[in-house]
Amino acid sequence: MKIKNIFWNFLGLGLPLFVALLTIPPLIKNVGNEIFGFISLSWGLIGYASLFDFGIGRATTQLVAKALGNSNYQTTYNIFKISRNLSLVFGAAGGVFIYIVGYAFGLDYINYSNVHHDEVQYSLVIIAIAIPLHSISGMYRGFSEAYENFKAVSILRCLLGLMNFIFPYFVSIYTTRLDILIFSILCSKLVGLILYSLIANKTIKHHPIEKGLSNKELDTVIKRELLSFGGWYSVSCIINPFLTQIDRFIIGGMLSVAAIAVYAIPFELVTKLTIFASAISTVAFPRYSKLIVESHAKAKDEFNKWLKLVSILMATVCLLFLILLPLFLEVWIGDSLNRDSVIIGQILCIGVFLNAVGIMYFTWIHARGKSNITAKFHLVELPIYITLLYFLVDKHGVIGASIAWTIRTFIDTTLLAWYFHKK
């Protein structure tokens, strides 16, 4: 893998994190814990838009990279066209689904007292509109990443990450209306859609293709492969929000929305440490998908090398963060810091290390086109995790949620490693 691609990808993930560190404390101060809890939920719902695109963005990267391994550039364009249409349909359907479910069930489940009901309803509409924008952007980004165009993608990711945090902060200076704050997030998603589409269309022009050329039999095969890989991946995406976001809803329901902030502050901070593994795995995914076609043995040797490097790197980073976290949170949050947040963050450091190792195994399995394996593992984990959450949150409050999350990452990584070594 090219180090410069990892650098650009790390920059695209890391710079928004730095901005988040600067903007989240004053944002909380301006809007309060309850509204910040809603903003955190909104980021989570919109961020997991791959749930609603049927895994098309991820499948696009895998199929295009595989086609590039065979130097089949015409096929990459056909994949692009079909993926774009499927993302539009599934993204729009996902937005409608979120609005209906949220309006019918979600608004009554969440406990809140300082936000007007109309603001919450309007915010739900805005989130529903943002989801298809984010979904289609993911397809465009996935296509560009298959071509390993990480510099342009990462620069844009930096810009959009900055907007995602800076827009709500600047809005909070003038108003604390929840719907207006959420609307600022929608604006960043619209900008992202426009710019990602420009990058993807520019990428297409690098190779000779016939845009009018179409083969119904080939298109049928492409759709089948996209829906097969994406279908199983979407199973993971359906379950993944439960595995990564259901803790906040359970905390909000069993405790309070304000308690979400106590949990979300260290969670959002500590889990961002996975950017090291994510920066490498994002570059590795199209690389391995392409390399496996050319030489499976070479691909596996490269994977093992990077797995060791990521394991050593993440063990060092997580240990240092665990030790320094109490001081860091005290300086970052100040007098409003809840002491439970420190304990939560330290427990999550262990889970983040396990998760980073799991990300590498997850990437290899997907590069081989086996998204069905990871989906089946998630199906096994889901009932175990929800049971742990209810039991541990009931017994230990927000700290129990961090314990449950860490146990879940251990189970996930163990299953992924078992499958890799078995095969």
**Residue 419's pLDDT band (boundaries 50, 70, 90)?**
very high
Note whether 120 and 269 are same-domain residues.
Answer: no
200 close to 80: Cβ distance less than 8 angstroms: yes
Percent of the chain with pLDDT over 70: 87
**Is 171 within a domain?**
yes
What is the rounded average pLDDT for all residues in the chain? Answer: 80
At residue 202, the pLDDT reads 82
Q: How confident is the model at residue 386 (pLDDT cuts 50, 70, 90)?
A: confident
User: Does the pLDDT of residue 413 top 90, yes or no?
Assistant: yes
Q: Is residue 410 part of a domain?
A: yes
Q: Is 224 a member of any domain?
A: no
Q: Is 221 part of a structural domain of the chain? A: no
User: Do 47 and 164 have their domain in common?
Assistant: yes
Domain-embedded: residue 223: no
pTM: 0.72
Report the pLDDT value the prediction gives residue 110, as an integer from 0 to 100.
Answer: 63
Q: Which domain holds residue 176?
A: 1-214
100 pLDDT band, cuts 50/70/90, is: confident
Of 81-85, 90-94, 242-246, the one with minimum mean pLDDT is 242-246
Is 227 a member of any domain?
A: no
| Total number of domains in the chain | 2
Predicted confidence (pLDDT) per residue in 363-384, tens digit: 999 888 888 898 899 888 888 9
And the tokens for 282?
Answer: 């994002």
Q: Tell me what pLDDT residue 312 has.
A: 92
Q: Same domain, yes or no, for 85 and 176?
A: yes
Which tokens sit at 312?
A: 């050593």
- Interval 296-307 mean pLDDT: 84
pLDDT of residue 353: 94
Query: What is the reported pLDDT for 354?
Result: 93
Phi, psi of 295 (to 5 degrees): -160, 105
Are residues 250 and 204 part of one domain? no
- Give Cβ neighbours of residue 118 (< 8 Å, ≥ 6 apart): 179
- Whole-angstrom Cα distance, residue 90 to residue 55? 10
> How confident is the model over 333-372, as pLDDT tens digits?
666 666 777 888 889 999 999 999 999 999 999 888 888 8
pLDDT band at 418 (very low <50, low <70, confident <90, very high): very high
Highest mean pLDDT pick, 112-126, 129-143, 225-239: 129-143
Q: Would you state the pLDDT for residue 278?
A: 82
